[in-house]
Structure formats: structure tokens, C-alpha cells
Amino acid sequence: MIGRLNHVAIAVRDLDAASATYRGALGAQVSEPQPLPEHGVTVVFINLPNTKIELLEPLGADSPIAKFLERNADGGMHHICYEVDDLIAARDKLKAGGARVLGDGTPKIGAHGKPVLFLHPKDFNGTLVELEQT
């Protein structure tokens, strides 16, 4: 069902500082910040030869990333994103197998302009999983 690893997302308190660290220490090319009000975050992407790193900064006090940073003061890995060919079929198969889809199960448009869903971390070894339609 799952395809390639699309990205690993890291929650940060200061997107500019984190971007500067990736640029300076690792020589990474970092995209321009992209606010995603529907998801409560501002993101940048670091393109790697085989995947991407997504840095997430809270966009407002109600952001799920703000809540994550309350529990994880230094930030850290927030989620991992896998590509799927058919998001609705993947959702339905996962739900039939007992996995919990977060929200109402309706896909939202993600940072790449494609539909995404999130799966409950308790169902995936403590890791929040994002699925993105290819």
C-alpha cells in the first residue's frame, strides 16, 4: 500500500533559526516559508536526493505544533509522510483493519497541493503517520 517516503517532519519553535542551521551547518537548500493556515503551521522544505525534510513552525496558539512544542520544548520529529497511490482506498483499508484516521477522515490539501490524511500514532508504534496521494 505505501509507496516511497515523502518527508520527515520536524517541529521547531523558530523556523528562521532552524532554516539557518540547516543552511549553515549542513549546506542544505531550504525553500521559502509557506503558511498553511488550514493546518495551523508554516513550513519549509529541505530537498534531499532521496526525500525531503519538512520544518514546521506553529501558526497561532491553536496550532497542533504549538501543543506538540509544549510537550517537547526542544522540538523534534513530529511525523513521517508516506506516499500512496489511492488515498481513499488506503484510508478505507486501514480503517477496516482498526487503524484510526485523525479528524473526520476527509482528506485535506497538504503543503504539496495534494490530499493528505493523518493516522493516530498509537496505531503506528508511537509515530504520527501522514499519507499523501501521489
Looking up cell 520529529 gives 77
Amino acid at 123: D
Report the largest interatomic distance among the alpha carbons of the chain, rounded to a whole angstrom.
46
Q: Are strands 108-109 and 76-84 parallel, antiparallel or unpaired?
A: unpaired
Residue 127, Cβ neighbours under 10 Å: how many? Answer: 13
CA distance 12 to 68: 10
Q: H helices of 1-134, where?
A: 15-26, 64-71, 87-96
Q: Which of 54, 57, 83, 130 is catalytic?
A: 130
CB 45 within 8 A of CB 31: yes
Which SS3 state, helix, strand or coil, does residue 111 take?
A: coil
- Clarify whether 130 is annotated catalytic: yes
Which residue numbers are catalytic?
A: 130
